[in-house]
Amino acid sequence: MVELNQVYKCSVCGNIVQVVHASIGTLVCCEKPMELLVPKDADAGLEKHVPVIEAKGDGILVKVGDVPHPMEEKHWIEWIEVLLNGGGSFRKFLKPGMAPEAEFPVKPAEVLVAREFCNIHGLWKSKSRA
């Protein structure tokens, strides 16, 4: 069963979708069940994928990551998002050449988790804030 905010990818065509309303059906694309992307939160080496959340002005800055991720034509961060404790969310879409970061108008304490999607290395999330 799908859950709110899960991200799924089609292994055939590469479509990626995020659940904004969860129900009982199985998500299908190109006549095959879509693959659930489970976000990772630890790099094997330098932390260039795990989002880092910093307070900035009245909001936050989310950087990818401790070591800036490449933003090249063939390898870049497609989007950064924050999911909020109250159920809301913000997302910024990026392009090659842009900085691998995004500002959002929320307080750090409002953030449940930050996530980002690398076109090669997939879905990542910030470390637990407990």
Can residue 10 be called a binding residue for Fe ion (CB under 5 A)?
no
Site string for Fe ion, 62-101 (x = CB under 5 A): ----------------------------------------
CB of 13 to Fe ion, least distance (A): 21
Range 30-59, binding Fe ion (CB under 5 A):
none
Q: Catalytic: 121?
A: yes
Instruction: Tell me whether residue 76 or residue 104 sits nearer to Fe ion (CB atom).
Output: 76
Q: Could you tell me the two tokens for 2?
A: 């799908």
- Active-site option among 48, 63, 81, 101: 48
- b/e for 92-129, b at 16 or more Cβ within 10 A? bebeeeeebbbebebeeebbbbbbbbbeeebbbbbeee
Q: Catalytic: 69?
A: yes
Q: Could you tell me the two tokens for 123?
A: 């879905």
SS3 state at 47? coil
Q: Could you tell me the two tokens for 62?
A: 């989310």
Range 99-128, binding Fe ion (CB under 5 A):
118, 121
CB 78 within 8 A of CB 94: yes
Q: Catalytic: 49?
A: yes
Instruction: Tell me whether residue 49 or residue 106 sits nearer to Fe ion (CB atom).
Output: 49
CB of 119 to Fe ion, least distance (A): 7
Give 3-state DSSP helix, strand, coil % of the chain, rounded to 5: 0, 45, 55
User: Catalytic positions, please?
Assistant: 47-49, 69, 75, 118, 121
Which residues of the shown chain bind Fe ion in the complex (CB under 5 A)? Answer: 118, 121
